[in-house]
Amino acid sequence: MALTLHVDAARWRAYLSATLAANPGLIPVVKGNGYGFGLDLLVAECARLHGSAGVGMIAVGTYAEAPVALAAFPGDVLVMEPYRPVIHDALPHLGDGALVHTITNGPDLDDLAGRVGRARVVVEGLSSMNRHGIPAEWMQPALDALAPCDLLGLSLHLPLGSGHVAEVRRWVDQFAVREWQLSHVTPAEQAELRAAYPDHTFRVRMGTQLWLGDSQACRVTGHVLDVRHVSTGDRAGYRGKRLRAGWLLVVSGGTAQGVALEAPSGADTMRHRAVAFAEGALEAAGRIRSPFRVGGHTTWFVEPPHMQVSLIMLPEGSTPPEVGAEVDVRVRNTTLHADLIVLE
């Protein structure tokens, strides 16, 4: 049995090429579960793009992910997690010449310089995202202390969406640094910044939009493992859930593969709130919508998904699939751990 990620390789790679062309100097982000593709596959894809598209740097999320990238990518590897001596000082790959460190305060910079010598660094400013970074009023002293290190540029991790040009310009106008790494800045905004600062370089770090921007290039399927007809009053599952008449399906895919794992909802619009309320009311009534679709139709969980399989129901009168058939499943790529990835 397998939960399978099917990738239309030609379409996916055409989209990657178009995205790279629209974002000059783009830095692919390879982190976490590899956006559903896995770290190994994405690093291999970046190595291919290093040769064919001139991608010279990739970014990983943490120091724990760096060895995979360092081993398989021939260019530079930026770690977006800020260097913290109390956590990272003993890492064996800290001094790798291809590694680029993110610095967000002076004491950490001093420690890194003492351990690595001329460490290669990116200094991150505290943007309106308000996550990691040095506030603008403290940035110049940090830059003045960079003598023991090689500064590759300043970075700003910005919130989702657009409308960031004014914020970026406030930073650029304050500091005599020519290279900037940015997140969540559109091609149009990049063009506006390049026109305003023709002697500067603006590079975008991109993950989700790069790897998952063409939603039609990938689909996820699960195998049908068992099919049986049940009558009203029959029971199934760990909790002996009472069933209505119909078809009980056992399908591959559960929590271990990321099925039905949802991030907390921001509920920042009336529509989002209405959907969250409706789904919560259904769950309270014992009806949990399943992400599996059979013959194009929505299905319902018998109970929450198991670790590697799920029990779902089709209503009486439906035509059930055969054992061994594959059914589509909607799953968040950032939680997906597919058993099999097929480049088709």
Q: What is the pLDDT of residue 294?
A: 96
Q: Write the pLDDT tens digit of every residue in 26-57.
A: 999 999 999 999 999 999 999 999 998 999 99
Query: pTM above 0.85?
Result: yes
Q: Hey, what are 263's tokens?
A: 């991030």
Bridge partners of 201, per DSSP, are 179
190's enclosing H/E stretch is helix 187-196
Q: How far apart are CA 130 and CA 148, in angstroms?
A: 28
Q: How far apart are CA 220 and CA 340, in angstroms?
A: 10
Q: How far apart are CA 82 and CA 209, in angstroms?
A: 23
Q: Is 21 left (phi over 0), alpha (psi -120 to 50) or beta?
A: alpha
> In the chain, which stretches have pLDDT less than 70?
263-287
Q: What is the pLDDT of residue 288?
A: 85
284's enclosing H/E stretch is helix 270-284
HSE on the CB side for 80, CA within 13 Å?
21
The H helix count followed by the E strand count for the chain is 10, 18
- Residue 292 has phi, psi (to 5 degrees) of -80, 135
CA 1 to chain centre: 26
> In degrees, to the nearest 5, what angle opens at C-alpha 9 toward C-alphas 7 and 15?
105
Q: How far apart are CA 260 and CA 335, in angstroms?
A: 9
Query: Tokens 């001596």 — which residue?
Result: 85
Residues 6+ apart with CB under 8 A from 284: none
